[in-house]
Amino acid sequence: MAHIWMNGVWGDRTTAKISVYDHGLLYGDGIFEGIRAYNGRVFRLKEHLDRLYDSAKAIALTIPMAAAEMGRLIDEGVTMSGLKDAYIRPIVTRGDGDMGIDPKKCAVPTIVIIVDSIKMWAADRYENGLTMVTAGTPIPHKEALCPRIKSLNYLPHVLAKHEANTAGADDAVMLDSAGHVCEATGMNVWCIRDGVIKTPPPSAGILLGVTRGVIFELASAAGYAAREEMLNRYDLYTADEVFLCGTGAEVAPVRQIDGRPIGDGKPGPITRDLIRRFRALTRGD
């Protein structure tokens, strides 16, 4: 059962309630994080909390709780849940206001911490690889809302996921208005060609994923060349390997994009090695 902390009280999904006047619901006015715990230990908590508080600062939202206290509550929730592997979702909204858009009308931010489990895809997808399509829905313009802010505004990503569902694919590649590869619907995108691992840079208008940073660490430890580079669909179509990474998805191989097999149509050796290294780091296996 999910454990949910909301404004000072632990409950579950039947007791945790939010006001219909909350600006997070009315206007998407808030920020969040997705965090994992493995074997009861929260993974990269500091990095996630740093990003949460930076996102709040960027939208002029003051979280009425120190990061250390937020971390303590997250640890407490994982322990209470009894889940060996847990997914944690801290959410901070502008708070309860009125029907107007003015943030001054929201006196106190709403804080929610959800501790539950998550399953992105069936195990066979991690073994055989995902199928993807290019979404017609573009990534939001990076000057409209900075993509480094992990905000509650995910509608373009939801619509891109709907396109993938309609096409019978597992996920979608999202592009900017110039055709550059940005990210998947909630994951960072990587491709490998001639042993070099590449992923779009921050200037592409992407969220700097915490797992993305872990991939750079693992690649360096393994002796792989890994770098940031602007990519387009040609780079993905002609890659030897493609994979996705994210807190929920972890590291997931891609076998096909827009009907084109990636490499030989099976997860490649570098991707498989990175998956193994990631699991060893997080689960100790």
Per-residue pLDDT reduced to its tens digit, 34-47: 999 999 999 999 99
pLDDT higher than threshold 80 for residue 1: no
40-64: b or e for each residue (b if 16 or more CB lie within 10 Å)? eebbbbebbbebbbebbeebebebe
Domain 123-283: what homologous superfamily? D-amino Acid Aminotransferase, subunit A, domain 2 (3.20.10.10)
**pLDDT tens across 87-103, in order?**
999 999 999 999 999 99
What pLDDT was estimated at residue 285? 55
Domain residue ranges of the chain, discontinuous segments joined by +: 3-116, 123-283
The predicted-structure confidence for 99-147, as pLDDT tens digits, reads as follows 999 999 999 999 999 999 999 999 999 999 999 999 999 998 888 888 8
- Which CA distances in Å does 256 have to 117, 127, 163, 170, 176? 28, 14, 16, 10, 21
Active-site residue, selected from the candidate residues 104, 105, 150, 198: 150
The confidence score (pLDDT) of residue 273 equals 98
Which pLDDT score is estimated for 79?
Answer: 97
Q: What is the pLDDT of residue 284?
A: 80
Asked whether the predicted pLDDT for residue 66 surpasses 80, the reply is: yes
pTM: 0.96
Q: Is the pLDDT of residue 22 over 70?
A: yes
pLDDT the model gives residue 16: 94
Average pLDDT value for residue range 267-277: 98
Q: What is the pLDDT of residues 200-259, one digit of tens each?
A: 999 999 999 999 999 999 999 999 999 999 999 999 999 999 999 999 999 999 999 999
**How far does CA 124 lie from the centroid of its chain?**
21
The two domains 3-116 and 123-283 share their CATH topology (first three levels equal) = no
Whether residue 150 lies in the annotated active site:
yes
What CATH architecture is 3-116?
2-Layer Sandwich (3.30)
